[in-house]
Structure 1
Amino acid sequence: MLSRPHADTVNGSQFPNMKELRVQSFGRPIRAFFAFDPTRTGIILCAGDKGGNEKRFYDEMIPVADREYAAHLETLK
């Protein structure tokens, strides 16, 4: 199981099980948002380079991840 500093819960998501994977690529901070659905399948929702304005990054990426996860949950119905 990955924990901080490699993975952490995303604050501000409408889903309490939303997580982010924290990795580096060529020294750049990359974040991949993921969640486990009700069947315990891990779903990678979106990813991006967090370099620069951290607040803007999360303000832009969390709604994308939430939308993708909500759409995925709809396919399970």
Structure 2
Amino acid sequence: MHYRARAGRPLVDRIKGSNYHNMRELRPPSSAASEVRMLFAFDPARQAIVLVAGDKSGNWQGWYREAIHLADKRFAEHLAAMEER
């Protein structure tokens, strides 16, 4: 039997503003002083690829702007490398 991982809000949510509809944000539990976030996506082989991780506390909007841009770039590079194989 095949089980599918199902994590939803508030732990995982879709990222708006990404070039990839499958870009997600993981919100692991963190201390009150930090707001750790991890951006990831599933590639065509159904492997989760963690693209960016960081603490966004004190820089809520700026962190997303930079992180989404970097995650999109890294995911595009990953997909291109998969195509070359």
Asked if TM exceeds 0.5, the reply is yes
What is the percent sequence identity of the aligned residues?
44
Unaligned runs of 5+ in 1: none
Report the counterpart of residue 24 of structure 1 in structure 2: 29
From 11, 19, 31, the equivalent of 1:6 is 11
Structure 2: gaps of 5 or more residues: 1-5
Name the Cα RMSD after superposition. Answer: 0.9
Question: So what's the TM-score if we normalise by structure 1?
Answer: 0.94
| Residue matched to 1:33 | 39
> Deviations for 1:36-69, whole angstroms, at most 9, x for unmatched residues?
0011011000101010121111111000100110
Distance 1:23 1:41 in 2: 19
Q: Which residue of 2 aligns with 1:72?
A: 78
Distance 1:5 1:26 in 2: 16
Cross-structure match for 2:59? 53
> How many aligned positions are there?
77
Cα deviation for residue 24 of structure 1 reads 3.2
C-alpha distance in 1 between matches for 2:39 and 2:29 = 14
Q: Distance in 1 between matches of 2:10 and 2:30?
A: 15
- Structure 1 stretches of 4+ with a deviation exceeding 4 A read none
Could you tell me the TM-score, scaled by structure 2's length? 0.86
* Bigger radius of gyration among the two: 2
Query: Residue 25 of structure 1: SS of its match in structure 2?
Result: coil
